[in-house]
Amino acid sequence: MTRRNPNDPSAIASEFKSHVVILGGLVGLMWFIHIADSFLPGTASVYGIIPRTSLGVRGIFFSPFLHGSYQHLVSNTIPFLMLGWFVMLRSVKEFFAVSAIVLLASGIGVWLFGSPGIHIGASGVIFGYFGFLLSRAYFERSALSIALSLTVGLFYGSLIWGVLPNQMRISWEGHLFGLIGGILAAKWLSRK
């Protein structure tokens, strides 16, 4: 088995292509599902998280791919791509680990404590990436993680207000538990 040199331009290009394919594939799936749901409105949303119901458990895994409107989907697409890519910068493996942790934390938190209704959208995962990127600097204390944390805080710092119950029809619980999941992921994955 050979190791790639991280300074090799072909290795960097190959890694960037894998980032584009993974993130583009996930966003493409979100858009495909929403467009398909446009032809049969409301059929996909039943796969969202319905708190404290056995049927709602499946939403823990499906809800990040479901959105209530094109505006909802558009508002989640850019932060998902940007913050997801920042998480992926270190490694694709770490991206998948963080994604799994925040998806489970957000989904289980909403299922246990969410308000009545159907909770859908990728914002729980986005808040998880946000929490991971901000808190990774605290746990790692490396120059790179601190610089990335400051960058994320500068561009996305206002997201923090989304964990408060200040808007109707917005799952602040998903935001809060996603953020907590991101912090847990940063602590668990930090390199001592």
User: In terms of pTM, does the model score above 0.95?
Assistant: no
Q: Where are the domains of the chain?
A: 9-189
**How many Å apart are CA 190 and CA 138, to the nearest integer?**
9
**How many Å apart are CA 189 and CA 98, to the nearest integer?**
8
Q: Would you tell me how many other CB atoms lie within 10 Å of the CB of residue 71?
A: 9
**Cα–chain center distance at 81:** 9
At 169, the pLDDT band (50, 70, 90 cuts) reads: confident
pLDDT, position 4: 56
How high is the mean pLDDT of the chain? 92
Please tell me which residue, 171 or 42, carries the higher pLDDT value.
171
Contact call for residues 124 and 107 (beta carbons, < 8 A): yes
Task: Please write the tens of the pLDDT for every residue from 28-55.
Answer: 999 999 999 988 877 788 899 999 999 9
Is the domain 9-189 a CATH 1.20.1540.10 member?
Answer: yes
At 164, the pLDDT band (50, 70, 90 cuts) reads: confident
pLDDT, position 6: 59
Name the residue with tokens 């799936």.
Answer: 29
Task: Please write the tens of the pLDDT for every residue from 62-105.
Answer: 999 999 999 999 999 999 999 999 999 989 999 999 999 999 99
Task: Please write the tens of the pLDDT for every residue from 136-159.
Answer: 999 998 898 999 999 999 999 999
List Cβ neighbours of 53 (8 Å cut-off, separation of 6 or more). Answer: none
